[in-house]
Chain A
Amino acid sequence: MRKKIYLDYAAATPVDPRVMKVMKPYFSEKFGNTMSLHSFGQEGREVLEKSREAVAGSIKARPKEIIFTSSATESNNLALKGVAFANQEKGRHIIISPIEHPCVLESANWLAKQGFKITQLPVDKFGLVNPADVEKAVKKDTILVSVIHASNEIGTIEPIEEIGQICRKNRVYFHTDAAQSFGKIPIDVNKMNVDLLTGSSHKIYGPKGAALLFIKEGVKIEPILHGGAHEFKLRGGTVNLPAVVGFSEAIKIRQKEMNGEIKRLTHLRDKLIENILKKISGSHLNGHPKKRLPNNVNIRFDFIEGESLVLQLDGYGFMTTTGSACSSTDLKPSHILLAIGLRPQEAHGSLRMTLGKWTKEKDIDELLKVLPAAVERLRKLSPFKS
């Protein structure tokens, strides 16, 4: 069998063996419910609070400002719906960017059905939000602005600090979905002027089933999962302790390794981008060349369709992804690629490659060997030729 090279770290990451080891006792030895009074429960509670401290420390938050959830999707749902319902006396206007993850977009769409007003900000061709546009969009009845920290698809990093300043000045809550950036680039909730922030475990070599929502002290928010008194009464449901423990171990490791990885991956990223653009005619970078996640490469190729390219590369052992309509379940191209001004026919030809901890320089070299031929083959089949 051909060697498999995984280039889809933005979708999911393998769990670090060190993380697995730390998690293991919490399945059948230290399985107590963190709400129980007996010693198993107390032990669990202690570990939960230690995990909270570790995760909070990594983003310069206080432990009581962190709640654990099951996924970034849940955190984003809670941030939007929870803030919306707790603050509707003040107003019912919410501002989001057009390049949010579907869990933010769909939460906003759902809130619109409940009578909230949603404004989508414009973005430029790199996917950047202009903070001045936020200033313009904020009204008297605006209660929340939500802008993704870094795009899951095109990797563009948004000017969160500046947007946050505007929100502070206008006394509007500011949420950022940092699912793709948390643990990959430094995050400081104070510097970034955010009131709410979402982070995820399984994007940083932690297990699936754990995520966080940072909620700055004093932010008015309602739970969406009603139940027991877990997580400061903001999220009912027995805490998934193995996952939370794994999550906190994953972020501890990331903090030690982050700077080195930023340097290493940025080099690989730029090497991949430069060489593709040089070797393959009719190829274009999607997203910002510099204000970009260290591990994200997104290129579009003229005259070919992405699903074909992804499956051809899969045949060569490379696992990638595309924003093409043909690969989606609703046959619509990625809303993010359309938001940055691409025409559908351009969006169809997009290929995302996301790098990670186990991506080696020789993987990039090998990809660069086969990619030009893969693109060339599909162009030969295509009626549109340069």
Chain B
Amino acid sequence: MNQTGYTKEVMKHFQKPHNYGRLKKYNGLGKVGNIVCGDVLWLYLNVENKNGKEVIKDVSYETYGCVAAISTSSAISDLAKGKTIENALKINKEQVIKVLGDLPPIKIHCSLLAIDALSEAIYDYLSMGKKPVPGDLREKHQKIERAKQVIEERYKKWTEKEKQK
């Protein structure tokens, strides 16, 4: 019944996740996933301007989900920390998977979720700060939003029950 095939690195990140929790001070927040599907990731960023460059000084997250969701959250936080937002946006799923050794094929989507959370947090940082948002980031944001709506529509039955509660 259980997914097996997690690498040692995955289990290490799962047992001792890096950078988890909610940042006391943050200026970017990306919320992705859906509780009905079983994984939700909220990623917090504290971006600072350093010599004219916007650098991710601090990053943290809160994750509801399986071992893969938690370990990819931890991995992406390591990857993003200290990077300029420009470089952080270049992080791809191969890099996340590399940090973790490997992921079971059925769990690859968790690494995409982590990348989405990061780009949503950067989008949030830029748009809240009324800074110019690159075209492809805006497009990605719109795509994620649309996907969210599709899922909410699909699981209306469950989410409406949630609201009634």
Residues of A within 8 A of B (CB): 11, 303-305, 307-308, 310-312, 315, 321-322, 324-329, 331, 333, 343-345, 348, 380-384
In the complex, which residues of chain B have a beta carbon less than 8 angstroms from the beta carbon of A382? Answer: 40, 62-64
In the complex, which residues of chain B have a beta carbon less than 8 angstroms from the beta carbon of A324? Answer: 38, 66
Given A321-B2, A329-B106, A343 contacting B36 (CB threshold 8 A): yes
> Which chain B residue shows the least CB distance to A345?
B35
Pair A11/B1 contact, Cβ less than 8 Å: yes
For the complex, what is the distance from the CA of A312 to the CA of B66, rounded to whole Å? 10
Pair A308/B1 contact, Cβ less than 8 Å: no
Stretch at the interface among B12-20, B46-54, B90-98, B139-147: B12-20
Given A11-B1, A344-B158, A383 contacting B39 (CB threshold 8 A): no
For the complex, what is the distance from the CA of A331 to the CA of B21, rounded to whole Å? 26
Can you list 27 residue pairs at the A/B interface with Cβ under 8 Å?
Answer: A305-B69, A307-B66, A307-B67, A308-B69, A311-B14, A315-B11, A321-B2, A322-B1, A322-B2, A325-B37, A326-B38, A326-B65, A326-B68, A327-B1, A331-B106, A343-B162, A345-B158, A345-B162, A348-B38, A380-B21, A381-B20, A382-B63, A383-B41, A383-B63, A384-B35, A384-B40, A384-B64
Contact partner, A304, options B17, B36, B64, B162, Cβ 8 Å: B64
Given contacts A311-B6, A312-B14, A381-B70, 9 further A-B contacts (CB under 8 A): A308-B69, A321-B1, A322-B1, A324-B66, A326-B69, A327-B1, A343-B158, A343-B161, A344-B158
> Which chain A residue shows the least CB distance to B22?
A383
Contact partner, B66, options A305, A321, A333, Cβ 8 Å: A305
For the complex, what is the distance from the CA of A312 to the CA of B13, rounded to whole Å? 12
In the complex, which residues of chain A have a beta carbon less than 8 angstroms from the beta carbon of B125? Answer: none
Pair A344/B36 contact, Cβ less than 8 Å: yes
Closest 5 A/B residue pairs (Cβ): A326-B66, A383-B62, A307-B66, A382-B64, A345-B35
For the complex, what is the distance from the CA of A383 to the CA of B66, rounded to whole Å? 14
In the complex, which residues of chain B have a beta carbon less than 8 angstroms from the beta carbon of A311? Answer: 2, 6, 11, 14, 67
B42 interface residue per 8 A CB criterion: yes
In the complex, which residues of chain A have a beta carbon less than 8 angstroms from the beta carbon of B15? Answer: 312, 315
Contact partner, B37, options A303, A322, A327, A344, Cβ 8 Å: A344
Residues of B within 8 A of A (CB): 1-3, 6, 11, 14-15, 17, 20-21, 31, 35-42, 62-70, 106, 155, 158, 161-162
For the complex, what is the distance from the CA of A327 to the CA of B5, rounded to whole Å? 12
For the complex, what is the distance from the CA of A333 to the CA of B36, rounded to whole Å? 10
Pair B3/A307 contact, Cβ less than 8 Å: yes
For the complex, what is the distance from the CA of A324 to the CA of B106, rounded to whole Å? 14
In the complex, which residues of chain A have a beta carbon less than 8 angstroms from the beta carbon of B17? Answer: 381
Pair B158/A305 contact, Cβ less than 8 Å: no
In the complex, which residues of chain B have a beta carbon less than 8 angstroms from the beta carbon of A383? Answer: 31, 40-42, 62-64
Pair B67/A303 contact, Cβ less than 8 Å: no
Pair B2/A333 contact, Cβ less than 8 Å: no
For the complex, what is the distance from the CA of A383 to the CA of B61, rounded to whole Å? 8
Within the complex, what minimum Cβ distance (angstroms) separates B11 from chain A?
8
For the complex, what is the distance from the CA of A345 to the CA of B15, rounded to whole Å? 23
For the complex, what is the distance from the CA of A322 to the CA of B66, rounded to whole Å? 11
For the complex, what is the distance from the CA of A236 to the CA of B66, rounded to whole Å? 44
For the complex, what is the distance from the CA of A322 to the CA of B106, rounded to whole Å? 17
For the complex, what is the distance from the CA of A331 to the CA of B42, rounded to whole Å? 21
Within the complex, what minimum Cβ distance (angstroms) separates B115 from chain A?
18
For the complex, what is the distance from the CA of A343 to the CA of B164, rounded to whole Å? 13
In the complex, which residues of chain B have a beta carbon less than 8 angstroms from the beta carbon of A328? Answer: 1
Within the complex, what minimum Cβ distance (angstroms) separates A34 from chain B?
35
Pair A344/B66 contact, Cβ less than 8 Å: no
For the complex, what is the distance from the CA of A329 to the CA of B2, rounded to whole Å? 8
> Which chain B residue shows the least CB distance to A319?
B2
> Which chain A residue shows the least CB distance to B43?
A383
Pair A344/B62 contact, Cβ less than 8 Å: no
For the complex, what is the distance from the CA of A365 to the CA of B15, rounded to whole Å? 23
For the complex, what is the distance from the CA of A362 to the CA of B2, rounded to whole Å? 26
Most buried by A among B20, B63, B66, B69: B66
For the complex, what is the distance from the CA of A329 to the CA of B4, rounded to whole Å? 10
In the complex, which residues of chain B have a beta carbon less than 8 angstroms from the beta carbon of A345? Answer: 35-36, 38, 158, 162
For the complex, what is the distance from the CA of A321 to the CA of B1, rounded to whole Å? 7
For the complex, what is the distance from the CA of A11 to the CA of B2, rounded to whole Å? 12
Within the complex, what minimum Cβ distance (angstroms) separates B128 from chain A?
19
In the complex, which residues of chain A have a beta carbon less than 8 angstroms from the beta carbon of B37? Answer: 325, 331, 344
For the complex, what is the distance from the CA of A335 to the CA of B139, rounded to whole Å? 37
In the complex, which residues of chain A have a beta carbon less than 8 angstroms from the beta carbon of B67? Answer: 307-308, 311
